Structure 1
Amino acid sequence: MKSENALYDQAVRLLKQLIETPSFSRSEEQTAQLILSYLKEQGVEAELSGYNVIAKNKLFDAGKPTVLLNSHHDTVKPNPNYTLNPFEAVEKEGKLYGLGSNDAGGCLVSLLATFVYFFDRPNLKYNIMLVASAEEEISGYNGIEAVVKILPPIDFAIVGEPTLMQMAVAERGLMVLDATAHGKAGHAARNEGENAIIKALKDIDWFHRYQFAKVSPLLGANKMSVTVIETENKAHNVVPAVCKYVVDVRVNELYSFEEVIAEIQKHIQSEIAPRSTRLRSTSIEVEHPIIQAGLKMGKTMYGSPTTSDKALMPFPALKMGPGDSARSHTADEFIYLEEIENGIKDYIEILKKIM
């Protein structure tokens, strides 16, 4: 059994290797191999499904409930404002710099260390599954969404994302709508036609002003933002017959996407079509044992405005991890080494309380 100090040292060493190995979404083969090698060094047999690394504790018992530990090993492309080499792990003044250090490398190596800590321990109340997932940054179909279909039944999950180790118990859903306003083409000089832009603007104004009735104490109100608008017409003297626009919709846990769509359709003339309804809002009950364990540790609960692999899990999940979401995708991304050390300790402590 590894000590927490030894696990921390190995976690930092692995994170430095991960930083220095490019792992853009859909191109995570090399980091998957690094994670497999780390687990093998710890005596853990793991397997690959695509670029997802999967493992289970040594004394896995199908008769017990199972907790999933999950974080991702893909990254976005470097912010163009980097002043450091994004693929060089630089340790300076208690910080570890590098692409993916904060999102979500620190979470990933902390959860890996936690899995190793419990791996061969007897008499656990829960089995422990581990998934280091791919394609999280693009919400890809070959990441956690594919993996959960081949896992044994999961009772709940801890999803490693940077939350300053506080408990994100709810998460906004994301739905993108393609909207189309229809008019009638005509010559601008002769006051002909029905201008689709004017029709679209009326609906866009509604999107801007409308307030949904149910406001979440964790996530606040639903938010709708029109982010793109265009017509196919390029001639200055033709009244456009069609105007298309895009609406970014962030949904709290009190509404389903279907309810939101039905409400929108009652108020606007434009046609709307959702691109996807996969990234749904989620929440975990405050009474859940893992949340109660966190509260006993003095942790706070909040609702997260950002989406994660949690949205694609058909079981309760707590999002929690070292690092700060505000640093994600920024230039010269970093994580404090102390955050990793404390992350490992807190992950182990919260699981001990339910084990």
Structure 2
Amino acid sequence: MKDIHELYEDAVELLTQLIETPSLSREESATADIIEEFFANREIPYSKSDNNIWAFANQFDKSKPSLWLNSHHDTVKPNAGYTKDPFLASTEDGKLYGLGSNDAGGPLVSLMAAFAHFYGKELPYNLIMIASAEEEISGKNGIASVIDQLPICDLAIVGEPTLMEMAVAEKGLMVIDAKVHGKAGHAAREEGVNALYLALEDLQKIKEFEFKKVSKFLGKTKVSATVIHAGQQHNVVPDLCEFVLDVRVTDAYTLEEALEELKNSLKAELTPRSLRLQSSHVPEGHVILKVGEKLGMQTYGSPTLSDQALIPYPSVKIGPGDSARSHSADEFIYLNEIHDGIAGYIQLLDTYADMLTQTN
């Protein structure tokens, strides 16, 4: 069995390979090959669907609860602010630089190292490692496409950069297309009903809008108007004004509930583009909350979106790295964060096993 230092060296080597292999969302086949090779070299059986890869740490036992480990291997496009080659893994002053090093390469390889540590061990739960694709775009060929191929889980641990703190709730996202209808007329005469002016009434309400329910961890659900369009000619009163609402929904609401509350307050026709990206939270009394308390982990609500939004089971977000570095120029992760991340995941999974055993 490998010790933490050996697991760490394997993880850094894997992360170096991933950084130096471009894997923009929908273009992750090469990094999927690398992850397959990681499992194959350790004689760990795995399954693959599109660019999602998963493996079981032990023989599946339907009498046991299941625990998912999940992180993603796709990245955003490098932004124009990079001064370093985004596809070159370079180390300076204890930092490993490269696109995807922090989001979410560090959490991914740390989870995979912890999974390798537990592979073949007897556990009171089924442990499944899932390296998913298309997370950065919440794509339909990402984790959402394989959920039906996996056992229902009692808990998913989603690897994202959280400074190894435990995000127990996450905001969902709903984008709404709004339409306000008026009546066309000549601008020089008092004709028609100006859809722009009608929309202004709704936009003023949106500016001041406050949802009724407030989340313990995430605070208020927020709606913002972000795009507007009306009219084609300067001399024609517009009969249609269209605008877009960005709604960041806390765990106090489902997307459907938040939509209904907006519909009851606005005159515009509201059509959500999607109801997929739900908010998430861990139910009170869940074992993972007791584990976090025992380990002295900080808990918080996360404003950023992840694969949690597409996982229909209780989940937490934990990982090495810092969310503030995600999508930034010259992205990096501290090497000691990877080492501590592996150790932290192992301790978390061991403690979870102990607590499950005590309660059964």
TM-score by length of 1: 0.97
List aligned pairs for 1:52-201, cutoff 5 A: 52-122=52-122, 124-201=123-200
What stretches of structure 2 of length at least 5 have no aligned partner?
Answer: 354-360
How far off its partner does 1:288 sit? 1.5
Take 2:2 and 2:40, find their aligned partners in 1: how far apart are those partners?
A: 14
Structure 1 position 285, deviation (Å): 2.4
How far off its partner does 1:286 sit? Answer: 4.2
Partner of 2:272: 274
Q: Secondary structure at the match of 1:149?
A: helix
Distance 2:256 2:64 in 1: 35
Cα deviation for residue 184 of structure 1 reads 0.9
Write the distance in 2 (CA, Å) between the matches of 1:88 and 1:191.
64
* Letter matched to residue 303 of structure 1: G
Deviation of the 1:58 alpha carbon: 3.0
8 Å contact kept, 2:58–2:127? no
Map Cα deviations across residues 274-324 of structure 1 (whole Å, 9 max, x no partner): 000000111002421122112211111100111111111111111111111
Partner of 1:29: 29
Between the aligned residues of both structures, percent identity stands at: 54
Quote the Cα distance in structure 1 between the aligned partners of 2:289 and 2:113.
Answer: 21
Tell me the CA shift for residue 59 of structure 1: 3.5
Distance, in Å, in 2 between the alignment partners of 1:26 and 1:347 is: 28
Shift of 1:196: 0.7
Q: Deviations over 1:179-199 (max 9, x none)?
A: 001111111111221111111
> For 1:15 and 1:291, how far apart are their aligned partners in 2?
30
Matches within 5 A, 1:321-336: 321-336=319-334
CA distance in 1, matches of 2:291, 2:187: 67
- Alpha-carbon deviations, 1:54-81, whole Å to 9, x = none? 1001333232111000000000110111
How far, CA to CA, are the matches of 2:18 and 2:345 in structure 1? 21
Matched with 2:218 is 219
Distance in 2 (CA, whole Å) between partners of 1:335 and 1:10 is 16
Q: Check the 8 A contact 1:170/1:284 in 2, yes or no.
A: yes
CA distance, structure 2, for counterparts of residue 53 and residue 222 of structure 1: 34
Counterpart CA distance in 1 for 2:255 and 2:307 is: 18
In the other structure, the counterpart of 2:302 is 304
Q: What's the offset of the Cα at 1:158?
A: 0.3
Structure 2: distance between partners of 1:286 and 1:163: 21
Could you tell me how far apart the structure 2 residues matched to 1:174 and 1:326 are?
A: 19
SS in 1 for 2:33: helix
Paired residue for 1:250?
A: 248
Give the CA deviation at 1:340: 0.7
Name the amino acid aligned to 1:207.
I
Residues 306-321 of structure 1: matches in 2 within 5 Å?
Answer: 306-321=304-319
Question: Which residue number corresponds to residue 262 of structure 2?
Answer: 264
Kept after mapping to 2: 8 A contact 1:286/1:292: no
* Conservation of the 8 A alpha-carbon contact between 2:255 and 2:278: yes
Is 1:285 aligned with 2:279? no
Aligned equivalents of 1:148, 1:219: Cα separation in 2: 26
Task: Verify the 8 A CA contact 1:290 1:351 in the aligned structure 2.
Answer: no
1:16 CA displacement: 0.6
Whether contact under 8 Å (1:177, 1:248) holds in the other structure is: yes
Q: Is the 8 A contact 1:52 1:133 kept in 2?
A: yes
What is the distance in 2 between the residues matched to 1:287 and 1:219?
19
Q: Does 1:204 align with 2:176?
A: no
CA shift in 2, pair 1:97/1:15, >3 Å: same
For normalisation by structure 2, the TM-score amounts to: 0.96
Distance 1:127 1:45 in 2: 15
Aligned-partner SS, 1:354 = helix
- Runs of 4+ residues over 6 Å off in structure 1: none
Answer with 251-260 or 175-184: which moved more: 251-260
Match for 1:32: what amino acid?
A: A
CA distance in 1, matches of 2:259, 2:100: 35
Residue matched to 2:293: 295
